[in-house]
């Protein structure tokens, strides 16, 4: 599993997940919502960044958003 939280800045607990600065744009206030659920990382930028921009900003592959067992279909 990718430790996504370690790749983000200004991580704060929020509800069932976290918020952080979005790596998809020049963020000055936490606009990224992050949750780990069902073997996958769920990411959403409230400023409107597409998930691809977030993944690119993190320098990870889309497959890294899924736990290893999830990628094998388990």
Q: How many CB atoms lie within 10 A of CB 12?
A: 8
pLDDT bin (cut points 50, 70, 90) of residue 1 is very low
As given in the structure block, the two tokens for residue 66 are 């899924």
- Every domain of the chain and the residues it spans: 4-71
Where are the strands (E) in the chain, listed by range? Answer: 9-14, 17-21, 32-37, 40-45
Compute the distance between CA of residue 8 and CA of residue 3 in angstroms, rounded to an integer: 10
Q: What is the pLDDT of residues 24-70, one digit of tens each?
A: 999 999 999 999 999 999 999 999 999 999 999 999 999 999 997 54
Compute the distance between CA of residue 6 and CA of residue 35 in angstroms, rounded to an integer: 13
Compute the distance between CA of residue 13 and CA of residue 33 in angstroms, rounded to an integer: 10
Tell me the whole-structure pTM to 2 decimals: 0.86
pLDDT at 12 over 90: yes
């Amino acid at each position: 599993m990718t430790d996504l939280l370690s790749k983000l800045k200004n991580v704060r607990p929020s509800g069932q997940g976290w918020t952080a600065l979005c790596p998809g744009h020049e963020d000055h206030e936490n606009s990224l919502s992050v949750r780990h659920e069902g073997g996958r990382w769920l990411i959403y930028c409230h400023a409107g960044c597409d998930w691809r921009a977030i993944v690119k900003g993190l320098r990870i592959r889309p497959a890294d958003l899924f736990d290893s067992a999830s990628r094998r279909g388990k």
